[in-house]
Structure 1
Amino acid sequence: MFTAYLLLGSNLGNREDYLFQARNLIGDRLGEIKQQSGIYETAAWGVENQQAFLNQVLAIETPLAPEELLREINFLEAELGRVRRVRWGARVIDIDILFYGNVVLQTQRLTIPHPELQNRRFTLVPLTEIAPDFIHPVLGLSSQQLLAQCPDTLEVKKFK
């Protein structure tokens, strides 16, 4: 079993319900959810002229290898209605693998750790809530340190 940190995001439809559905499917199919952050609302990053996102980070224990985990995540996203049209565009659900234990992996389809997490407050704020001392296996800094150094200035606020 491996601990994977996943980022969930939604900015279309009933955003909170999409996160709820994703958590249920992840727990049923990908592994046991060990921790979950609160839900945060954030202005869209990348393509900014769209509705705000709700984001949440989960820590799961999974028996799946990284590539298998990605494949299953893609199935879950499709099942929940995700259609990939525009990079960083609006979506009902987005699930990213942030970390997979201390694995460092670069393939055509998957890079672990997530290559942009240190530049995104909407990722680091919920990650730091549940894993402040987790050390990035490439950068050698904790989640807390990455957040303190993050160049992103977008507001990230607790939802509800």
Structure 2
Amino acid sequence: PQDQPDFVNGAVWLRTSLLPHQLLDELQNVEQQHGRERLRHWGPRTLDLDILIFGDQMLDDERLTVPHRELRNRDFALQPLLDLKAGLTLPDGTPIAKLRRQCPDNGLRKLPPADYP
């Protein structure tokens, strides 16, 4: 949303033995441990962990939609996915690269890698 400050976004690619809802529970626990309070939809947050895709699975229920409901509209989510795997497609076969080309550009900037000890 436009009424919030700029933010850093990233993506990870991982293997898990967890089911999608179990992974969601774990991610929400991590958010809470980092001070996340869900006061309003799309409100400011200290940390936001989303499941964008989950293999070739498609889910849509009251807790979780995979692929993520807003993925097609978010350059800040599409670009990191492409950075991880250039040829990635959605479960329906739609190339992520095609979605990125169709998505409005919000002035993304790629940051240099962080220097951790």
What is the DSSP-based 3-state SS (H/G/I as helix, E as strand, rest coil) of the residue aligned with 2:69?
Answer: coil
Deviations 1:47-92 (A, max 9, x none): 2122101000100111100010001111110011101112112111
In the alignment, does 2:105 pair up with 1:158?
no
Aligned partner of 1:144: which letter? A
| Greater RCO, 1 or 2 (C-alpha within 8 Å, sep 6+) | 1
In the alignment, does 2:74 pair up with 1:103?
no
Q: 2:29 aligns with which of 58, 70, 75?
A: 75
Residues of 1 paired with 2:64 and 2:77: CA distance?
A: 18
In the alignment, does 2:16 pair up with 1:62?
yes
Q: Which runs of 5+ in 2 are unaligned?
A: 113-117
TM-score, length basis structure 1: 0.67
Aligned residue number for residue 115 of structure 2: none
Deviations 1:84-113 (A, max 9, x none): 112112111000000110001111100111
TM-score, length basis structure 2: 0.90
- Report % sequence identity: 37
Aligned partner of 2:87: which letter? D
Q: CA RMSD in A?
A: 1.1
Q: 1:127 aligns with which of 66, 72, 81?
A: 81
May I ask how many residue pairs the two structures share in their alignment?
A: 112
In the alignment, does 2:95 pair up with 1:147?
no
Richer in strand (by share): 1
Aligned partner of 1:141: which letter? T
Residues of 2 paired with 1:129 and 1:153: CA distance?
A: 16
